[in-house]
Amino acid sequence: MDKQNIIAVDGPAGSGKSSVTKAIAEKFNLNHVDTGAIFRALALKIDESYDELEDDFNDFIDSVKLEYKKIDGNLSLKIDGLELSGKIREHHVSSLASKHSANLMVRNKVEKIEKKIVKESKELCILEGRDIGAFVFPNAILKIYLDASVEVRAKRRMGELNDSKISMSELIEDIRARDEQDMNRVHAPLTKADDAILIDTSDLKFEEVVQKVSDLIKAKGVA
């Protein structure tokens, strides 16, 4: 099967996927698709709006209207007209996303959104997530798997969160629990695709990771 003109970057929480892919997208004029943000927004919508006593979950998910846009380089993510791009960065939403991403209907919804974004994109897309290279776009032209130690990932996540109440030790335990949940879910578990290139970012500076990914892209001649 022909390779798809897509760059897939997977890895666990805090491995550097979002910041690295954003930098790469700017450097090579790519369309950066933040799949984690889509999962977070859906998880937040489910948590705040779904009444399991009254609603059919499949109908509920089908009815959700999600808008994913880039405005002046910044992500605008709306569900049913409500802007959520700031709220989804709160720490508790990470746990919600991990919980609901195990649901096949949620995964199918996100996959449909991802494929629509890619299909409509005029630029080469770089997607970051947990199952992009292994499951969603198995024929991506380049697959990269970023990883790092739990302690390093927790430190990075602490700097990203819109929440100052959680301690470092609590965050480390949360990340370990999320890794366990993501790696052992039934549908599309977090895993490195066989043909993905592993980059351990634990001891690398941000600029060094960006350079390694840039070199891989140049070697492929796709951007």
pLDDT digits (tens, 9 = 90+) for 149-175: 999 999 888 877 766 678 899 989 989
Whether residue 41 is predicted with pLDDT greater than 90 in this model: the reply is yes
Whether residue 186 is predicted with pLDDT greater than 90 in this model: the reply is no
Residue 58 is which amino acid? N
Whether residue 178 is predicted with pLDDT greater than 80 in this model: the reply is yes
Computed over every residue of the chain, the mean pLDDT equals: 90
Q: What is the pLDDT of residue 221?
A: 86
Identify which has the larger pLDDT, 68 or 222: 68
Give the distance from CA 168 to its chain's centroid. 22
Question: Which of these, 37, 16, 15, lies nearest to 117 by C-alpha position?
Answer: 37
Q: Which CATH architecture has domain 4-209?
A: 3-Layer(aba) Sandwich (3.40)
**What's the alpha-carbon Rg for the chain, to the nearest Å?**
17
**pLDDT range class, residue 2, cuts 50, 70, 90:** low
Identify which has the larger pLDDT, 86 or 3: 86
Question: Which of these, 28, 43, 5, lies nearest to 213 by C-alpha position?
Answer: 28
**Of 5-9, 78-82, 107-111, 184-188, which range is least confident?**
184-188
Mean pLDDT on 170-195: 88
Question: Which of these, 98, 124, 101, lies nearest to 33 by C-alpha position?
Answer: 124
**Beta 66-71 vs 4-10: how paired, if at all?**
unpaired
**pLDDT range class, residue 1, cuts 50, 70, 90:** very low
Q: For the chain, where are the E strands, in sequence order? A: 4-10, 31-34, 66-71, 74-79, 82-83, 125-129, 140-147, 197-200
Question: What is the greatest pairwise CA distance in the chain?
Answer: 54
131-170 burial, b for 16+ CB within 10 Å, e for fewer? bbbbbbbbebbbbbbbbbebebbbebbbeebeeeeeeeee
**Of 38-47, 94-103, 205-214, which range is least confident?**
94-103
pTM of the model: 0.84
In the sheet that holds 74-79, the strands lie side by side as 66-71, 74-79, 82-83
Q: What is the pLDDT of residue 24?
A: 97
Q: What is the pLDDT of residue 154?
A: 92
